[in-house]
Structure 1
Amino acid sequence: IRAGQGSQKTVQATGAGQTDFGWADTPAVLAGVDQGVKVKSLGVFLQTTPASVQFFDAQGIKAPGDLKGKMIAGTAGDALTKTFPIFLEKNGLELSDVKVQNTDPAGKIAAVISGKTDALLGYASDQGPTMQNKAKKDVSYLRFSENGLNFYSNGLIAGPKTLQGNGDLAKRMTAAVSESWAAAEKSPEPAVASMEGASEQLPPKDVLSEQFKTTLTLLHTDATEGKAPGANTEADWQQTIDVFSKAGLVKEAKPVADYWDAAKGIKG
């Protein structure tokens, strides 16, 4: 298992056959296919987006309307910043109602802690617990999925080298990943403990536990509740494609089958 340096690079490396499988954010998969990268999803496992606006409780933000006039740290061109206007629109707001401060991904937490921005655009399973640990202040979230906007997040991907050259391996790998998530959902603590030493960049254990606890809330949509992790539906895929077509991340939307290899995925 190698560090991927972000979903975009993982999609490119997987499509080029530099790796047998990849773990990537679905918006990066859609954008890659749009640009001609030969890669497909074997199943999205984090099916509820962790995309959120994050802020300290002291800001008093309780609903999307409370964001009016706030300064929010975002990263130009990423999926969060591109979908934020749709989130605002779903909640009766316009982009002009807020101020988005373009910030590099690593600097967003520092911008909120220092008071340069009132909030940040991030993943509920990532920045929030880290920010809370660093500042020793409670963090709250406005999750996109709880305010009218959901789309697929991370999943397992493969390129032609695996899909065409070793389809049986692709099926077995997808089943193994599904089994792993099901086990982790039942016993989160051993799953967190197993990550020890996996990377020098891992956060403290209590932060990691909180991140993983949130991650486990992302495994299903209403359509897949009760099904094995990684079981996808065509309707959820289409909703995701539609969101990113509207956001401009996908210039020419293709059929669901161009993005998702259902035959090698988890049967619902």
Structure 2
Amino acid sequence: MKARKKVTFTALAASAIMALSGCATPASSPSGSEAKGLDKLPIRLNWTFEAADHPWFFAGMVEGIYAKHGIELQPQEGTGSASTLQLVASGSDPVGLVDAGTMMGGVGKGLPVKSACVLAQRNPMSAIFPAGAGISSIRDLAGKTVAVTPGDSLSQIFPAVLAKNGMSKDDVKLVGLSDPAAKQNSVLTGASDAFLGYYTLQLPAVEQSSGKDMDYLSFSKLGVDTLSMAIVTNTSWASQNKELLDRFIKATQESVDFVVANPAKAADHFVKGVPRFDRELALKQIEATIPLLHTKATEGKPACVTEESDWKETQKILVENTGLQEKPLDLYYTNEHAQ
């Protein structure tokens, strides 16, 4: 059944689909005397700074929350969860933001990584398409062309969605496009029938930039409601830097609390860090992202803290639909830094 919940933004959205390739680190990163005496901590994001669904880091830097905890946070752009996971596993980056399902697949392959915090605990992944495309169920995608970004979290999880609904990758025509804007444009021009994206981010951005009504099929409503965006560490680095990791997670929790209480200020802080981004669009995306912070099992708990039952359900979905081998759940995550 189609999951339809329109998200209407009044902002110009052209900046939302513009890759900010010239912005390797945000403009608000402290430097020089501001950073004196702080522990530098790079964090590799899952993607570029083109969407405001990770406002906690930018707000925490501008508000001085990370500095208060002795940290100079250095967000770095990524090219998808799979590549970020590899960088963390290799030790090139100590910390990364990675889709939880993608991380679990990596753990299954022996990668030395573990989640220290899950920020987005509900999943906004979806297949997005023009409202008049005649698509009202997953079965309507059979034989149609779906644009994906190879290696990102959506492409990793989509096979599970198909399998959960009695389909396989052979039932759809997947076309890989490395540029997210190209993925979206391929649908707008009719080259593809649908693309994979977040209904909280890409759907409203495309509606505003194109003037066309869009619709979507939510992965969660199609039976694949997995934990979403996790802060993942290299296990060797984490064991050698426990005190720094404790401070980082505590600062991130405080930053989340600030964003939840002050979404408008968080939007201001985000565009201070990413000046080319549209401020009103940032606010709308932040407001759409905040409801993803908790599952029913974690409502009322601090940000980052996860429940075993949610990991168990996520693993069950992946075992049944992607070939993931079942592992002890404590290999995937720890709450010790978030308590």
The TM-score with structure 1 as length reference comes to 0.84
Distance change (3 Å), C-alpha of 1:112 and 1:265: same
Q: Say if 1:178 and 1:229, in contact at 8 Å, map to a contact too.
A: yes
Counterpart Cα distance in 1 of 2:142 and 2:263: 38
- 1:151 is matched with 226
- What is aligned with 1:84? 158
Moved more, 113-122 or 15-24: 15-24
Q: Does 1:54 align with 2:90?
A: no
Q: Give the letter for the 1:196 counterpart.
A: V
1:100-179 aligned within 5 A: 100-106=174-180, 107-179=182-254
Stretches of structure 1 lacking an aligned partner (at least 5 in a row): none
* Letter aligned with residue 152 of structure 1: L
Which residue type is aligned with residue 264 of structure 2? Answer: E
Give the letter aligned to residue 200 of structure 2.
S
Q: In 1, distance between residues paired with 2:91 and 2:161?
A: 36
Structure 2 CA distance for partners of 1:181 and 1:113, relative to 1, 3 Å? same
Rounded to whole Å, the distance in 1 between the matches of 2:149 and 2:194 is 13
Equivalent residue in structure 2 for 1:254, among 304, 316, 327: 327
In structure 2, relative to structure 1, the CA distance for the partners of 1:157 and 1:105 (3 Å cut) is same
Contact 1:178 1:230 in 2 (8 A): yes
Q: CA deviation at 1:105?
A: 4.3
Of 91-100 and 44-53, more deviation after overlay is shown by 91-100
Deviates more, 1:39-48 or 1:2-11: 2-11
- Give the superposition deviation at 1:190: 0.9
Q: Distance in 1 between matches of 2:122 and 2:192?
A: 26
The residue type paired with residue 207 of structure 1 is L
Which of 106, 122, 136 is the equivalent residue of 1:32?
Answer: 106
Given the superposition, is the C-alpha separation of residues 14 and 64 from structure 1 closer, same or farther in structure 2, using an over 3 Å criterion? closer
Q: How many residues align?
A: 264
SS in 2 for 1:44: strand
Of all paired residues, the percent bearing the same amino acid is 31
Q: Match for 2:315: what amino acid?
A: I
1:201-234 deviations in Å (ceiling 9; x for gaps): x542333233222221211112112322212011
> In 2, distance between residues paired with 1:155 and 1:171?
15
Give the Cα separation in 1 of the matches to 2:211 and 2:333.
Answer: 42
The verdict on how the C-alpha distance between 1:77 and 1:186 changes in structure 2, with shifts beyond 3 A counting, is: same
Change (3 A) 1:185 1:118: same
Moved more, 213-222 or 24-33: 24-33
Q: 1:167 to 1:130 in 2, by over 3 A?
A: same
Q: Structure 2, unaligned stretches of length 5 or more?
A: 1-73
RMSD in angstroms over aligned alpha carbons?
Answer: 2.7
Q: Which moved more, 1:212-221 or 1:89-98?
A: 89-98
Q: What is the alpha-carbon distance in structure 1 between the residues aligned to residue 235 and residue 137 of structure 2? A: 45
Contact 1:24–1:154 under 8 Å retained in 2: yes
| Counterpart Cα distance in 2 of 1:40 and 1:77 | 19
Give me the whole-angstrom Cα distance separating, in 2, the residues matched to 1:217 and 1:163: 29
